[in-house]
Structure 1
Amino acid sequence: MTSKTILAAVTSVFLLGACATGGDSFSGLGSGTGIGSSVVKMAIDNQCRTELNKRNEWRVIALTMSAEKQAEWENKICGCASEEAPNQLTANEMMQVLSPSTRTQALTSVAAKTVTACFKRMYR
């Protein structure tokens, strides 16, 4: 499998059933700095890895790769998603992230949006 094939397959994994919502970036996190940004980045990275490993498509793709290559792609995908998250986070989503009862849903929504941004970044 080529890198572009793997990236396209992994991107489709994330986009299956994920709907991005519109809205302005939360200005306090849009710059990607600060404690709030770090917390969001760590949470998105963790959520990304959890969701990625739940997906049958990823598990099938991962079977075709060495453990090192699988870790490399997981790091690329989830690292990009966590870096892009503060830029994609709306004020409403930030409030949802802060609430334990809505955190997972908000992180899933933000992770879906970041995959699109990462897909564009990786194909430049």
Structure 2
Amino acid sequence: MKKIIALFIPLTLALTACVSTGTATNTTGTTGSQSATQQLGTAALKIAINTKCTTELNNTPAWQTATRLMTDTQKQNIQSEICGCVSEKAPQSVTAVDLATAAIDPAARNTIVSNAVTKTINACVAEAVQ
């Protein structure tokens, strides 16, 4: 998985020269833009976050205890719900500067992903339990 991400980010940067920035108007009438490169970077980040979430969840003693009596299917469904939530919410806490840094520095990428997962996993677990 890390190899895919490591190959995906340089490809994303290479495609930057070929892509124009799109502009959209939201419901409040303000204008925001996100380039295709940022969208691809966010997609790659979501994959890394989902992988990190799964690892963190499986290594948490509370998760191991809570899922001890569940079937594998039940455990996987809840894990998918939690990590899907984390994958959607965590990139919101990552800045464009963080995305650029993550594309260049693998150590920074790991730190950024870890911080994003840490900030959102508890909220997503609480949502899944309710």
The answer to whether TM tops 0.5 is yes
Alpha-carbon offset, residue 103 of structure 1: 1.9
Given residue 89 of structure 1, which amino acid in structure 2 is its aligned partner? V
Which runs of no fewer than 5 residues in structure 1 stay unpaired? 1-26
| Equivalent of 1:76 in 57, 81, 87 | 81
Which runs of no fewer than 5 residues in structure 2 stay unpaired? 1-32
Measured in 2, the distance between the counterparts of 1:48 and 1:94 equals 18
Length, aligned pairs only: 95
Higher relative contact order (CA 8 A, sep 6+): 1
For the 8 Å contact 1:85–1:110, the answer to whether it is kept is yes
Measured in 1, the distance between the counterparts of 2:74 and 2:54 equals 15
| Equivalent of 1:87 in 66, 70, 92 | 92
Given residue 50 of structure 1, which amino acid in structure 2 is its aligned partner? T
SS in 1 for 2:56: helix
Identity within the alignment, %:
29
Partner of 1:42: 47
Root-mean-square deviation (Å): 2.7
Measured in 1, the distance between the counterparts of 2:111 and 2:56 equals 12
Partner of 1:62: 67
Q: Which runs of 4+ in 1 moved over 6 A?
A: none
- What TM-score, normalized to structure 2? 0.60
Partner of 1:22: none
| Equivalent of 2:124 in 113, 118, 124 | 118
Which protein is bigger by CA-based radius of gyration? Answer: 2
| Equivalent of 1:107 in 98, 101, 113 | 113
C-alpha distance 76-105 of structure 1, shift in aligned 2 (>3 A): same
